[in-house]
Structure 1
Amino acid sequence: MIHKLFTAPVNLVVKVGEKIKEEADKELYDIPTIQQKLIQLQMMYELGEVDEQAYKVQEEQLLERYETAKMLEMQEYNEMLNQGK
């Protein structure tokens, strides 16, 4: 009983941390969000709000996130297929 009293706050912090990481990963690797950010970046570049160097850096970062998101999506799909067997 005493053990639970001392570990409960730690367990709660761990669960909150896991949820924050899950939400951050969802935002970071959400394909529609990345696509929208790429469109916004392109528009900002075309309107002259972002210079070419900043555009290239941000575009590269977004494309890397997109590639990772697609890879994660494929892994999830393959896992679902394998579970169905």
Structure 2
Amino acid sequence: MVLETIAFVLIGLAVGSGALVLLPAYFPAARSLTLATAVVAALIGGGISGYALDDHLPALALLFSAITSALLVSVLARPDLLTGTGRHRHA
């Protein structure tokens, strides 16, 4: 269980860092918020999937951890601010 937790944290850090490196303009909030969201989402997603799968398929729990982390980090993305006007693009 300890190794899975470390793997979930590493997955969260990879997802958060990847989002910040690949799409820096989409995340105007603090970098620590994006990284913390990714790590917490990976821990929660991995924990719930590990519990639901009864720890029989750790590879699937790692996959669900990455998916959960990516989905919750995408909530922080603000593509509407890319124009630089600060307004919503549909306003």
Q: Which one has more relative contact order, counting CA pairs under 8 Å at least 6 apart?
A: 2
Which is richer in helix? 1
**TM-score (normalised: structure 2):** 0.34
**TM-score (normalised: structure 1):** 0.36
